[in-house]
Chain A
Amino acid sequence: MTPAIALEDVWARQDRTDILKGISLRVVPGEILALIGPSGSGKTTVLRIILGLLAPERGVVRLTGEPVSENRQILVPPDRRGLAVVFQDLALWPHLTVEQNLAFGLDLKRTPRATRAERIHHMLTRVGLSDKARRFPGQLSGGERQRVAIARALVLQPHAVLLDEPLTNLDVVLRSELLALLRSLLAETGATALYVTHQIHEAMALDARIAVLEQGRIVAEGVPQLLAAMPPTAFVRALFADRERG
């Protein structure tokens, strides 16, 4: 099967330091891949390269088989990649209402007005914010903003959605509630997802396959049970030990 997202020997440099050292990854359509790694391991860089916000120093990025970035070149700009993103800081546009935040991408894709309204309404209902469509992000709680960010990404019906530690700074209850919502939305839309996190339990709650990134290299890949049984590095061992401690 042609992977929805594929990275082939991708390198990235910043300030004369290699951030990524030849990583290769494949995410098949409809799959959720959790990219786990400690702070500074290069997770966000991987995401920015897939999005087309950063060109790889070396290597190829393919989306549904087509090369989109290659050896310092961005072949397809971010807006033509059919991707959606939830950033760590959510990046909700503060001058636009919830509804306008969701409409932005649809508007630029020239979605007919009726379809646009219907999709926004449906998505806001799914995330439980249909009564807050006219609010500005500054008038919402932390959990509500998180929901808007997820809704804004999925309303576009993207090929794949990329999530960069979207649940950081939320309490445990809210986090598990949002993980359940995200899982059901991804299943509903059938979107491929790359979920960047440093929390193993988030990956497991999403039933995701896991890739572990350490110091710019993929050091392990597989289902959680396999990695737990045979942890290849101290970091992976610590991840699952933390999980067991609760």
Chain B
Amino acid sequence: MTQWRRAHEALLLSAPPALLALIVLVPVGTLAAELALAEGALALMGGVLGSAGTWALLGASTALAAAVTGVSGAIGVPLGILLGRTDVRWRGWLLVLHALPVFVPPFLVALGWFHVLGVNGYAGSPATARLFFSPIGLVAILAVTFAPIVTTLTALALQNVDASLEDAARVVARPLRVMGRILLPAVSPAIALGLLVVFALAFSELAVPMFLRVRTYPASVFARLGGIDYEPGEAVAMTLPLLAVTFALLAVERRFVGDRTFAVLGLRGRERATFPLGRWRAGITLMCIAVTALSLIPVLALFMRALPDGLAALPQWIRSSLWNSLITAMAAATTIIVLGLAAAWTIARGHQAGRALDATLMLGFLTPAGVLGVGLITAWNHQMTRFIYGGLAILVLGLIARYAVVGVRVMATAIAQSPRSLEEAAAVFGGGRIAQLRRIVAPLHVRGITAAWLLTLVFCLRDLDTVVLFYPPGREPLTVRIFTLEANGPSDVVAALAVTQIVVTTALLGVLAAAATVDRTRTS
């Protein structure tokens, strides 16, 4: 291979990941530059940061996110163990149903619980409503919504632990000890990742605190970008502590998670011998059903509220929002997969450049949605870039910046499962890096890539917190439409719109499940 060809190949392989990294870095970088250089920014920052209220609110938000993380871990880790590795009845179905809330906007879960626990709810009273509209209600709603992240990662990782490690331990120790001493430490990077993601999502959450009227820091930033507290300069200044939190989270992620999850997470858990629960089986199964019911109750409540008038009125209220959601989410997911495949390969193989790229993409996800939103507005709301900011393209850019890590990590996890020697053999037999990517890596992992695309699509579809800050007038996605209508629209129509969002998401998840269970004989 000539030098020129090698340089050409290096360029072709590095340009797409670089572009992806740029999409993430532009809003964060522009915001940082604005904070440092804009006229009067220092005075404004001094005012905001000198206020005790700022720090009190930031502390309260951090405490709320920590509480959500704690409760999610307390639910998710034991449930992940039970559904992942014990003989609880119907554990596969229970895991799928329990995981459903993760894939819909938390705001819809809150809305569903409102129809149950609100004053006029199906099981509501003034007392339940008081509890619901309080910090305790906020923690409970978000914990029930995000706990499945920890459950699923724990269960999947437990199903992917090297069987020989477990077998060697089972020869000398009882199941409980094997679980505590061998399996849980082995899957700890996956659990750590789950808890970190929950903290980031809970800290970033905008719509649920606003709906429950609990003051949080990100909601205050949002309030300064619209409505009665309109003060965009202050909003920018307020993002500084959030940027600090972001970098702290990134440091924690690099220290405790990084690329270690690739070793313990597969896309699809393998069936392993289960730990028998014996006489506890029936009782524990009932307990698991009860926890799973917490995921389904709000969805059922929304269905009941939507019937029959809400669904009938749906066509006249939905407008183009579903189309906007689908088109932007598909464009973002496709871009992430196309630009991210080479990145995922580099990350999976542990190259230095891959680690830097992974950290950059993780930065986009860990950055609170409000900060990312303000950054996107700062970066793109100019006369010259009006063609981007004024249309759906800004939504696509925002979604890519926030969710690139989801698609790339899923692809990297899939690629990391196959031995490096498959690519090395191709290299020795004459395949350059592009040939390896095109002829070995991509076709070998086509199911993993499809799964990555679908999962990214679902994450983009469920987004509300990022896009609510900068959606172009008249082009709002479905989640934003539901959020804005909730304040003064008919409640049965709002419920019907929420049901639409859930049905679309469930259909996509069905396709994802089907893709994952396709016969694997060719790759066995």
B contacts with A: majority SS: helix
B427 A79 Cβ-Cβ under 8 A: yes
Collect the chain B residues with CB atoms within 8 Å of residue A80's CB. 1
When C-beta atoms are compared, the residue in chain A nearest to B426 turns out to be A104
A138-B522 contact in complex given A79-B427, A93-B440, A105-B430, C-beta closer than 8 Å: yes
The stretch that binds A, out of B95-103, B283-291, B417-425, B503-511, is B417-425
When C-beta atoms are compared, the residue in chain B nearest to A94 turns out to be B523
Interface string of B342-364 (1 = CB under 8 A from A): 00000000000000000000000
A14 to chain B, nearest CB (A): 13
- Which of A51, A94, A95, A109 lies in contact with B428, CB distance below 8 A? A51
B522 A95 Cβ-Cβ under 8 A: yes
- State whether the Cβ of A53 lies closer than 8 Å to any Cβ in chain B: yes
- State whether the Cβ of B140 lies closer than 8 Å to any Cβ in chain A: no
Interface string of A63-79 (1 = CB under 8 A from B): 00000000000000111
A89 B522 Cβ-Cβ under 8 A: no
- State whether the Cβ of B29 lies closer than 8 Å to any Cβ in chain A: no
Q: Which of A116-149 contact B (CB under 8 A)?
A: 136, 138-139
- State whether the Cβ of A223 lies closer than 8 Å to any Cβ in chain B: no
- State whether the Cβ of A200 lies closer than 8 Å to any Cβ in chain B: no
Q: How many residues of B contact A (CB 8 A)?
A: 24
- State whether the Cβ of A87 lies closer than 8 Å to any Cβ in chain B: yes
- State whether the Cβ of B32 lies closer than 8 Å to any Cβ in chain A: no
- State whether the Cβ of B431 lies closer than 8 Å to any Cβ in chain A: yes
When C-beta atoms are compared, the residue in chain B nearest to A87 turns out to be B421
A79 B1 Cβ-Cβ under 8 A: yes
A79-B430 contact in complex given A91-B421, A91-B424, A104-B439, C-beta closer than 8 Å: yes
- Which of B424, B429, B521 lies in contact with A108, CB distance below 8 A? B429
B444 to chain A, nearest CB (A): 5
A81–B1 alpha-carbon span in the complex (Å) = 11
- Which of A52, A83, A139 lies in contact with B521, CB distance below 8 A? A139
A91-B419 contact in complex given A136-B521, A138-B521, A138-B522, C-beta closer than 8 Å: yes
- Which of A52, A81, A84, A104 lies in contact with B431, CB distance below 8 A? A104
B425 A85 Cβ-Cβ under 8 A: yes
Collect the chain A residues with CB atoms within 8 Å of residue B6's CB. 77
A6 to chain B, nearest CB (A): 19
B425 A87 Cβ-Cβ under 8 A: yes
Collect the chain A residues with CB atoms within 8 Å of residue B446's CB. 95
Looking at A81, A89, A93, A156, which has the most chain B CB atoms within 10 Å of its CB? A93
Collect the chain A residues with CB atoms within 8 Å of residue B422's CB. 91, 93
- State whether the Cβ of B432 lies closer than 8 Å to any Cβ in chain A: yes
B395 to chain A, nearest CB (A): 36
Q: Which of B401-448 contact A (CB under 8 A)?
A: 419, 421-422, 424-432, 435, 439-440, 443-444, 446
A52–B6 alpha-carbon span in the complex (Å) = 15
A139–B520 alpha-carbon span in the complex (Å) = 11
A77–B429 alpha-carbon span in the complex (Å) = 11
Collect the chain B residues with CB atoms within 8 Å of residue A109's CB. 430
A104 to chain B, nearest CB (A): 6
A81–B429 alpha-carbon span in the complex (Å) = 9
When C-beta atoms are compared, the residue in chain A nearest to B446 turns out to be A95
- State whether the Cβ of B51 lies closer than 8 Å to any Cβ in chain A: no
Q: Which of B188-239 contact A (CB under 8 A)?
A: none
Collect the chain A residues with CB atoms within 8 Å of residue B427's CB. 53, 77-79
- Which of B1, B429, B432, B439 lies in contact with A84, CB distance below 8 A? B429
B419 A89 Cβ-Cβ under 8 A: yes
- State whether the Cβ of B517 lies closer than 8 Å to any Cβ in chain A: no
- State whether the Cβ of B524 lies closer than 8 Å to any Cβ in chain A: yes
A136–B524 alpha-carbon span in the complex (Å) = 9
A108 B522 Cβ-Cβ under 8 A: no
A177 to chain B, nearest CB (A): 24
A54 to chain B, nearest CB (A): 10
Collect the chain A residues with CB atoms within 8 Å of residue B444's CB. 93-95
- Which of A52, A89, A105 lies in contact with B429, CB distance below 8 A? A105
B215 to chain A, nearest CB (A): 50
Looking at A94, A136, A138, A156, which has the most chain B CB atoms within 10 Å of its CB? A94
- Which of B1, B424, B429, B521 lies in contact with A104, CB distance below 8 A? B429
A137–B456 alpha-carbon span in the complex (Å) = 32
B432 to chain A, nearest CB (A): 6
A138 B523 Cβ-Cβ under 8 A: yes
A153 to chain B, nearest CB (A): 8
Q: Which of A85-104 contact B (CB under 8 A)?
A: 85, 87, 89, 91, 93-95, 104
Collect the chain A residues with CB atoms within 8 Å of residue B426's CB. 93, 104
When C-beta atoms are compared, the residue in chain B nearest to A136 turns out to be B522
14 A/B residue pairs, CB under 8 Å, sorted by A: A53-B424, A53-B427, A79-B431, A79-B432, A85-B424, A85-B425, A91-B419, A93-B422, A93-B440, A95-B444, A95-B522, A105-B429, A152-B429, A156-B429
Chain A residues engaging chain B, CB cutoff 8 angstroms: 51-53, 77-81, 83-85, 87, 89, 91, 93-95, 104-105, 108-109, 136, 138-139, 152, 156
Which are the 10 A-B pairs with shortest beta-carbon distances? A105-B429, A108-B430, A91-B421, A138-B524, A91-B425, A79-B430, A87-B421, A78-B427, A94-B523, A78-B428
Known: A53-B427, A84-B429. 7 other contacts (CB 8 A): A77-B6, A77-B432, A78-B424, A84-B428, A93-B444, A94-B444, A138-B522
